[in-house]
Amino acid sequence: MVRKLEKPLRMKIRTGDLVQIISGKDKGQRGRVQRVFPRENRVIVEGLNLVWKHQKPRRLDQKGTKIQIPAPLHASKVMLVCPHCDKPTRVGRVRGQDGKLHRVCKKCGEMIDATK
């Protein structure tokens, strides 16, 4: 039997979701997901988990500068904020009437993607 090396690339968090950070220095803060990295199970949240990057000068007359950019954090450190009950929640999946899988809030049971 051929062993499957890669896990299915399915994440509970998607680009554009509102999430709350549940651990680390930005704990409790909320932001929009800018990018997801399913392979690493990491997300970039806009304006949060900022780190300083040092940029080298590209030309002789330029100086190197420090810029702040959001660093990826592990998906387990963020929770999706439900657009219906406004709470950080776990995500379930149900099959809708259209036969597709939809994400649901485990707290209020509402579909999460229906509002988009």
For residue 94, state whether it binds Zn ion (rule: CB under 5 A): no
Distance CA 89, CA 12 (A): 11
Binding status of residue 14 toward Zn ion by CB under 5 A: no
C-alpha distances in Å from residue 104, one per residue of 22, 59, 84, 93, 114? 20, 51, 10, 6, 9
With respect to Zn ion, which residue has the nearer C-beta, 67 or 108?
Answer: 108
Residues 63-82, one symbol each (x = binds Zn ion by CB under 5 A, - = not), give -------------------x
Q: In this structure, is the dihedral angle defined by the CA atoms of residues 5, 8, 9 and 13, taken in order, positive or negative?
A: negative
Interatomic CA distance for residues 59 and 10, integer angstroms: 43
Closer to Zn ion at the Cβ: 44 or 104?
A: 104
Q: Which stretch binds Zn ion (CB under 5 A): 8-16, 38-46, 57-65, 99-107?
A: 99-107
Supply the minimum distance, in Å, between the C-beta of residue 9 and Zn ion: 25
